[in-house]
Every structure is written in structure tokens, then in C-alpha cells.
Structure 1
Amino acid sequence: MGSRRTFSRRLGVPGRAGVALFAAGLGLMSPFAAAPASAQTADAPAGTWATPPPLGPGDAPPADSGHPDTTYKKKNECVQRSLGQDVKINFRPWGQDYLQLDRAQQIVRAATGSVGGNQKVAVIDTGVTPHPWFQDRVESGGDYVATPDNGAQPGMQDCDGHGTEVAGIIAGNPKDPQVGFIGVAPDARIVSYRQLSENYAKDDSPQQPSAPPSGGTGAPPSGGESQQPPAGGSSNSQLPPSSGGGTGSGSGTAPQQDNKGDSRDLAKQGTAGTLNTLAQIIRGIADTHRAGVINMSVDHCRPGTAPGDIQEGERKVQAAVRYAADNDIVVVAAAGNVSENCPQNDQADPNKPKSIVTPPWFSDDVLSVGAIQEDGGVAPFSVHGPWVGVAAPGTKIVSLDPAEHSNGLANLTIANGNPSPIQGTSFAAPYVAGVAALVRSMFPHMKARDVVKRLKATAQHPAAPGGRDNFVGYGVIDPVAALTANLPGDTGNLSLPKPVVQEAKLPPADGISSTPMIVALAGTGGGVAALLITLFVMHTIRRNRARSSPPTK
């Protein structure tokens, strides 16, 4: 009791309260301990800038019109192949090894007979080129930029190159053991929606000119992120070994990506794509249930203002992602990339962010994905925030070359003849979307919100209170754990272990006889008894002598 009081007084709290506080502190040291409510939802406390205002009774996502909400015209030509040839890239991307995708795919294949073959993933992006390594597993979802000018179905033309790379990480399948690259769910189907493009701009001319013919050089990088495979380059440009992908410099192309990641932004001046059409597409997918997982590597970033402030387009997206999650769809989004217009949230108070990123802001219904680099650290371009849910590899990306008629891979984006690695949270998100598809394939009766909880619970938690922080959320995803872990409260066909009474297995007796101890104790007891009797007798004799002696004079 003394030590407990001393400890409690040092804390400045009463004794019992000190013990309770000490126990709570021990609980927080475990990444699997119950997290505070704010950490469990990955949101900041209510009333902060980082928390979106709640939806009202009248807030509903807009109906899907199936077409752009304004007229766009092409300003740049589409991405082209590097020097007109395929560059062989046979090494395995580090992200595949880091996530142990081979083992995860073996687990799903053994249990279901395929690796995501019964799943569809909607990719809302810059479109998806039907690369041969998709094996006709890409289907048209819709086009909210323009009618493809190459005769392709809506959503199946990717002028920027970004969407094809994203889809390749999810479901690319070379079917060649000599190729190191493979998608996370290589048997899954992709439903492509072209919702954004930096090669198109709003057409303000009174007469709508016909779209220019496809071809030529140059495709601007789909937005600044280390994205689309190479765009650009003249016939004299030389690529480094093991580079690849489309190219294109050409007039009007965007500047090459920098080390900050993607600078693309929805509703950015001079580009195609709005928050309104994003909300429409999400609503349409939920109404038709075209896919069980949505990947959105598209973001809208704006300065943080004050609690309760929200733009009209943001509110529509908020209602749409809530609608999709309520209709059993896993919604995954890139956490966003630092750029000139989207500064890093490195301020002292994390609940008053410099930048608000949509859709990740709506983390109650969206699983937002930050990026890590090869050493496991947080990628410097990955935007921080209380809405970050998990993280995945986002640097040195290898994926399908998005240029038309290409049958190879890309690991660089090229603008104005300058190569840069492909990187960004845009490419971390599809890793998570692919794993979500595998989990849905493995546990077909598991609801979407439970899939998201499973991905968070099995992630490699950071050493932070509640097992999460504002950099990687609940941690880097762990595909093998997500597919095999038995968790409390699991749903679907996942069997939980039954409690078993454990037998107490004490060590055997040492075999030493107890007789000597008994004899010793008996002897000691006898000696004590004899001593007591002797003392009693002596006391009695002295008392009797005292009584018989004559009094002293």
C-alpha cells in the first residue's frame, strides 16, 4: 500500500485513481488494446477543422446522369509509347515483396480456385487502356470527360496514363513467370470510369470543334503525380535502363513530376473533372452494384478553414460515399499528395489542418491510404491527417504501360524528355483496393464495413496511442493477416476458434522423502512441549516455596 500511495502522489492523483491511470497506460502500450473513440474512427474529435460536419436529413447524392456535367475539349494528345518500343522490366517491384503478395495469392487460390476471380473493382480515374495483360477483364463503366475519339467504349481511353497504371496494380496479370510484376488480384475484373483528365479542358468556344484525331506525341502526366508512364520525349531522347512506358513531350504537356508526388486535383482550372461527377459515379455504382470495391485515386485539396465549413461539391461526395458504404461497397481513396496547392499538414495542432482532402476527409465511410517508401518510412509526399486509415507502398512503382498498343510495363513517367519514378498515394490506394477484393473473395458474406475494419485491425500498427497515427493510420496493410486472422466479432463464413479448457501441467514432485522433515518437526515440537512443562514446574515450585517461607523481619 505504501508504494502505491507514493506512486499516486507523484502523479498528483488519489491512490485508486493512480492505479487506474497506471492500468490505462499499460493498456495503451498494446496496439491491440481498445482505442479511444476518436482513434477507432480515425477521425478527430467533433467540432474540429479535421472533422466534416454531419450529413443532414436532406443531404443525398446526386443521381447519375451518365455523362459530363460540362463540355470538354482535348488540349493535348494522348500518352504514347517510349521511343515507339517496349522496354523489358523483369524485376519484381519491392511493394510485392514487402506485402508478401505471393503468399496472400496462394492462400486465396487454394481456398477459392482463383485470385479474386469473383470480384469487380471500379476504378474512377482517367480511364483504363485495355492492355493485353488484363485479358479482356476490363469493362466500360462510363465516361464523364468526353466520348473517346479512338473508337473505344466509354471509359476505355486513357489519355493521361494514370488510370491504367492504377488498374494494373489491382488486376494486371502477365501470366509469364519471367515477369516479376503481377497485380494484387490478378483474376479480378475492372470497371473503368473516366472522370478526370489533364489532357482535356472546359470548352468555352461558341462552336464545339470536332475532337482532334488520336495520335502524335505527348501526353501530359495525368496530373503531376508520379503517374502515367512516360509521356514525352523526342526521337533523340534516351531512357535509362529498365525504364519503360508511354512517353510524350509535345506542346501543352504538364511539367514532369517532382519528388512530392501527384499535384493533380479535381476541379483544377484547365482540366476536366468535378466533384459533382465523382459523386454521381459513386451513386451509380451503388445503385447498380457494378462492383464490390471502389478505388478513387483522385482527390480535391483545399485549405483548412473552420469547423463546419464544407463546399457544395464536397457535401455531394460525402453523401455519395455514405450511400455506397451503406449499400455494401468498400470505398478506397488515395490520401492525397503534397503540392504547391496542397501543403503538408505539419502544423502543431493536427485537428486544424492546413489542407483538407476529399474524399479521404470522410473517413467514416472511406478507407484512405497513405504511402510508404522502400525503407518502410512515410513517403514525404503523402498528406498527413486524422482521416488516414492505412498505408501501402507508393514509390518506385511498376505497372502496365498505358499507351495504346503497348504490351509491356512502365516504371517511369517522362515529360519533356526528363524521366522520373512513378510515385504517389494514387498507387498506394490500389494495393489496398486489391487486398479488399481478395478479402471479399475469401469471405463473400462479410459486409463492406467489416472488410474495412479487418484491414485496419490486421495492419502493422504504428507505436502510437490506440495503434494509429496521422501518418499511416492504423499502419501498413498486411494481406496475409487480413486473409487468415481470426478476430473478435468477425462475420461471414470465418470460423472463430472455440475456447478449450487448458489442463494444469505442474512439474512432477522432486521425489525427496518427507519423513526427515516430519521427524524434525516432531522433535522440535516435543522439545518445545518439554520446555513449557519444565517452566511450568519450576514456576510452581518457586511459588510454593515462597508461601512456606516465614516472613522476613
Structure 2
Amino acid sequence: MNWGKRTASLLLAAGIGVLSPVGSLPAWAQESTTPSPTPSPSQSDDRPSWAPPPVSVQQPEDQIKPPYPYEQGNKCVSSNLSVNVDLPNKPWGQQYLQIEELQKIVQANKKAQPGEGLKVAVIDTGVRPHPYFQDRVEGGGDYVIPDEKGLKDCDGHGTEVAGIIAANPKNTGIGFIGVAPYARIVSIRQSSQNYRKKDQTSSAASSSSEAPGGGESKSETPSNENSGDDTGGQSFHGDTQPNQKNTGRQQEEEGSAGTLTSLAQAVVHAANISGVRVMNLSVDNCRSSLLPMNPGEKLLQAAVKYAVEVKDVVVVAAAGNTSDSCKQNDQPNPDKPTSIVSPPWFSDHVLSVGAIHKDGSVAPFSVFGPWVTVAAPGTEIISLDPAPESSGLANLTIEGGNEPSQIQGTSFAAPYVAGVATLVRQMYPELKARDVIKRITETAQHPASPGGRDNFVGYGVINPMAALTSTLPSERGLKAPVPVRFPADLPPANDANWKPMVVALAGTGGGLVALLITLFVVHTVRRNRTESPDPAKNLR
């Protein structure tokens, strides 16, 4: 009996202990009391971690001087194969953006031809005065061969870019037309992949079996004469490596012409040219984010700031293409990019443009980044055939002696935006450069992401019709609406707090243990009473 009572008392005490408040939970079930890390001094301001530092130098001088003596190292662009180009066919990008409808709106509202009276500076590989430009191309300067004044295009790239902005076939049998077909093009040749420094021997140039952009490079006999056969306007350019690498056009590549410093000088020079209202930069420099900002980047940053804030020029730049030397920014933390691309990096002053496919998806070669502003068509490009003496169009290119491939790249998405910016400036001549950029970004087709932007298309694919016709709240002194993400069919993910559940389960378990103990105690007491002798019987 004594043992049974003692056991029951111990079990009852244990049950009471279980029912008492939980004194300690596992670490994972407790609320963290660890203070948030204190931001480092470099992140203590409002600037995001990826953003460039404030401008720290003066813009470079306005001068046209090649950084090195250059000589031609590869043959220039040529038309050497015939393809079946459907001339009446309109490029999908032209249809997608409703370019011809935009031009009608400008004509009806301004009683002028679209782009008429405006100048667009194209800083690139030069622009050939193709017949579809009529007489609307003027030389703005040359940082490769000064005497050629930017009116020679050995690479072919600049002519194609300028064609998307301002070409005008004036032929109803041709579907292609530039966005602002009456604008004037100011051509500034700043770089070339077919020219090299004079102290680089041809053997050194030919020893590079693969160029940084991924296109194979081979030695060519230097020639100052452009060669090519007229094929009735239906041709693509080949025999031009590495001048048409779809994978990117980098500054300061070995065996090529062009530096960040000369690009900065070209930006300042273009901004100072009378009448220039828009500037297109389809040339980039890509480096690892682990490297510090270099002097050339600082000059370029100061140059684009000067163009926008002092000269009121809209600066449009290609977001850049991925390559072996320019890795895609697809790391887990989007605010810590792997690659830095300039000038798009300077998004405070640059309208940087990514590329999309016909189906609206982001082109995989388009470099992602928190500095991307908007996106535009950048694949299956049709533009001017830059080959000498050609009067037609091109829709293919040859890279490094390989099979013909489509013309594509953010280089060709940017001029669509530059052309739209030109029409916006014509429709709203009172708007400042930043207001033009705001009109393009606020009317873009915003992606379904927090804040109405992401690192792939920025504020979205451009909507030129809205950019030309919408009334923006911000222009009327009202706050622009903030795009929000609509809820999905499924409920949002819930970051569970496990502490209440642990407490509840502990209490429930404790109650069950207490009940079992109580039942055991009652059963033990009853049994002890049953087994004990009756005292009354002992007295008889």
C-alpha cells in the first residue's frame, strides 16, 4: 500500500510539471533576438548596392582624336551571297510597335513628316550614306580614321542601327521603314572590330582563334577598298569577321578600335552638335563586378550626365549581349550582379534597352541587370544592307565564316527606342530629356513584379502608341500610380511561425499525459483498497 501511494504521488507531480508553462523551446521554435546587421558605411545611404558611385570627375574635352593610330586589319563588309528576302514583308518589330500608325499620328498632329527637323546622333561603327537615307546623313566625327568623318562603315553595324531609326525606302513595295524616317542622322564612328592599333602585327591578330564575343577571328589581308557585288538589294553581308558578332561589341578588345575614353569624348562631342536631341549608343563595355570602376568608366559616366543635364539630350543605350567575357546576371541575389555593363550601368542618365523575342519573351542574350530601363524587339532584324553600292536590305549576317544567321542583339533594340524618343520629342518639344524618358517608362507594359519593374525588361516593353498619346499624371502635377502585382490563383506563400504550434502541441501532449497519470492513480488507489483486509473482520 505504501509503495502504491508513493508511486501515485510521484506520477501526479510529474503530470503537474507537464501542465506547467513551457520554460524553454528549441532554438528553431523561438523568435530570433539577434539584432539586424548594421549596414556598412558604403550602404548607409539610399543608393542600392549595385549602383555606381556619384559622378566624381569632369566630363572629357570635346575633341576628335583617335586614342591610337589605327589601321585596317580585316576586310570590310560585303554582299557576297543572295538570299530570298520578301521585300514587302514588314519586320515583326515594326508591326509589334505599330510604327506606321505612330507616324500617322505625328503627321496629323504636327503637320510635319515624322522626325522632320530633328537630329539623332549615332555613335557606332560609322554610317554609310545608303540610298534609303536620301541626303539625311551627316558626318559628326571619326575616332578611328578622322578624315572619313564617320561616313564609312567597314563593320556594317552602325548603318543597320541607323536604318532602324531613320531609313525611308519611299517605295510602297518595301515593307521596312525606319521609326522616324525624316530625321537626320549624325554619324560618329567611335569603334571598329575591323581596325586595330598599328603596333599590333597581323600575326598577333590572326593568333586569336576566338574573339571575346564568341566569334571566330581569322587573319585577312588589309585593304582600303570595300569590295562587294550588287545583288539587286537582296543580300546579306559576309566575309566580315568579326564585325557583326551578335554576342556583343566590346570596347578595348584586342585587335579592334575603340576605348571607353574615346566613347566618353564622342558622347560629349555629339551632345554639343547643334540640333541633336537624341543619342543612340549600341556599343558597350562589360567587366566583372569584382573589378573596381576604372578611369574610362568614370569619364563615360560624367559624359552621359553632361549630355542629359547640360545639353538636354536623350541618351539611349543597348543593355549589352552575353558572351564568354560577359556573363549573364542570373545569380541568386539580383542586386549583386556578376557583370557590369557600361553605359547602361549609369541608369540615372541613360535609357538602357533590353531585347525581346517575337513571342514577347526576353532574349537570352540580353544582359539582365537592375539598371535595365525598358525592352524592345531585338531578334529577326531587317535593316539596311551596309555593303558598299548596295541599295537594298539585309536580314542575315555571317559570323566568323560560319553559316548565315539572323541579325539580332540589344544593339538593334536600342534604335527602336531611340526612334520612338525622337517622335516623342517632336510631339512634345517642350519636354526635357528626363521628361521624355519618364514618358517612355511610365507608358511601358509593366511586368508583373513588385514596383512595376524587374531586371529583365526594366519597366517593361515600350508602348510607343501610349508614349505619343497618353496624358501622364506626373505631367499634370499628380503622382503617377504605382503598378501592383495582381494576386495569383493560389494563396501567397506563408512564412510560418512555429512557436504557437509547438506550444499547442506541448500543451495537448501534457494534457494527455496528465489524464493517463490520473487514470493510473485512481486505478491504483482502488486496487489497494480492494486488496487491503477489512479491520472489522479482524475484531471478530
Same fold (TM over 0.5): yes
Q: SS where residue 264 of structure 2 aligns?
A: helix
> Does the CA-based 8 Å contact 1:245-1:408 persist in structure 2?
no
Contact 1:121-1:189 within 8 A present in 2 as well:
yes
Instruction: Tell me if the contact between 1:141 and 1:192 (Cα under 8 Å) persists in the aligned partners.
Output: yes
- Does 2:164 correspond to 1:165? no
Q: Which runs of 5+ in 2 are unaligned?
A: 1-44, 202-209, 216-226, 478-540
1:260-279 paired onto structure 2 within 5 Å: 261-279=246-264
SS at 2:186 equivalent: strand
Q: Distance in 1 between matches of 2:163 and 2:48?
A: 40
What percentage of residue pairs aligned between the two structures are identical? Answer: 58
- Shift of residue 205 of structure 1? 7.0
- Map of 2:450 onto structure 1: 465
SS in 2 for 1:451: helix
Give the direction of change, closer, same or farther, for the CA distance of 1:222–1:340 in structure 2 (3 Å limit).
closer
Q: Which amino acid aligns with 2:374?
A: V
Partner of 1:420: 405
Compute the displacement of 1:288 (Å): 3.4
Query: What is the match of residue 151 of structure 2?
Result: 156
2:143 is matched by which residue type in structure 1? Y
- Give the match for residue 321 of structure 1: 304
Q: Is the 8 A contact 1:224 1:262 kept in 2?
A: yes
Residue 126 of structure 2 corresponds to: 127
The 2-side partners of 1:78 and 1:369 are apart by 28
**CA-to-partner distance for each residue in 1:130-189, whole Å, 9 max, x for gaps?**
0000011000000001146xxxx4100000000000000000110111111000000111
Equivalent residue runs for 1:384-533 within 5 Å: 384-415=368-399, 416=401, 418-490=403-475
**Cα distance 1:221–1:446, how it changes in 2: closer, same or farther (>3 A)?**
farther
> Does the 8 A contact of 1:87 with 1:245 survive in 2?
no
Residue 353 (str. 1) matches residue 352 (str. 2): no
* Alpha-carbon separation, structure 2, partners of 1:483 and 1:384: 27
What amino acid is the match of 2:72? K
Aligned residue number for residue 40 of structure 2: none
Q: Which amino acid aligns with 2:79?
A: R
Distance 2:281 2:269 in 1: 14
Are 1:363 and 2:358 counterparts? no
Deviation at residue 243 of structure 1 after TM alignment: 6.5
Distance (Å, rounded) in 1 between the aligned partners of 2:117 and 2:473: 26
- Contact 2:192/2:243 (8 A) holds in 1: no
CA contact (8 A) 1:160 1:198 kept: yes
The answer to whether the Cα contact below 8 Å between 1:221 and 1:255 also exists between their aligned partners in 2 is no
User: For the residues of structure 2 that align with 1:72 and 1:460, how far apart are their CA atoms?
Assistant: 44
Structure 1 moving runs of 4+ over 6 Å: 220-225
Separation in 2 of the partners of 1:460 and 1:103? Answer: 18
Q: Which residue of 2 aligns with 1:254?
A: 242
* 1:305 Cα offset (Å): 1.7
Which residue number in structure 1 is paired with residue 324 of structure 2?
340
Describe the shift of the 1:289–1:224 C-alpha distance in structure 2 as closer, same or farther (beyond 3 A).
farther
**Who is 2:47 aligned against?**
46
> Residues 53-84 of structure 1, C-alpha deviation per residue, up to 9 Å, x if partnerless?
1113xx11110221212111100121111348
Q: Which amino acid is 1:46 matched to?
A: R
For residue 264 of structure 1, give the secondary structure of its aligned residue in structure 2.
coil
Name the CA shift for 1:467/1:405 in 2 (closer, same or farther; >3 Å). same
Q: Per-residue CA shift, 1:237-260, capped at 9, x if unaligned? A: 9x9xx96232225xxx33985xxx
Aligned counterpart, 1:176: 171
Provide the rounded CA distance (Å) in 2 between the counterparts of 1:54 and 1:337.
26
Aligned residues: 413
Identify if the C-alpha distance between structure 1 residues 447 and 224 changes in structure 2 by more than 3 Å, giving closer, same or farther.
farther
Change (3 A) 1:435 1:321: same
Deviation at 1:262, TM superposition (A): 2.3
Equivalent pair of 1:256/1:418 in contact (CA under 8 Å): no
Q: Does 1:110 align with 2:95?
A: no
| 1:107-150 per-position Cα deviation (integer Å, ceiling 9, x unaligned) | 011112210112110000000010000011000000001146xx
Q: Deviations over 1:339-373 (max 9, x none)?
A: 00001000011111110000000000000000000
3-state SS in 1 of match to 2:308: helix
Q: Distance in 2 between matches of 1:104 and 1:371?
A: 21
- 1:140 is aligned to 139
Provide, for residues 440-479 of structure 1, a one-character-per-residue CA deviation record: whole Å limited to 9, x for no partner: 0001111000000000000011001111000000001111
Contact kept in structure 1, 2:212 and 2:325, CA below 8 Å: no
Write the distance in 2 (CA, Å) between the matches of 1:61 and 1:82.
43
1:68 aligns with 2:66: yes
AA in 1 matched with 2:95? D
Partner of 2:4 in structure 1? none
User: Structure 2 length normalisation: TM-score?
Assistant: 0.72
1:485-517 deviations in whole A, cap 9, x for unaligned? 00123289xxxxxxxxxxxxxxxxxxxxxxxxx
The answer (yes or no) to whether the contact 1:127–1:157 under 8 Å persists in 2 is yes
**Is residue 2:293 matched to residue 1:310?**
yes
TM-score (normalised: structure 1): 0.70
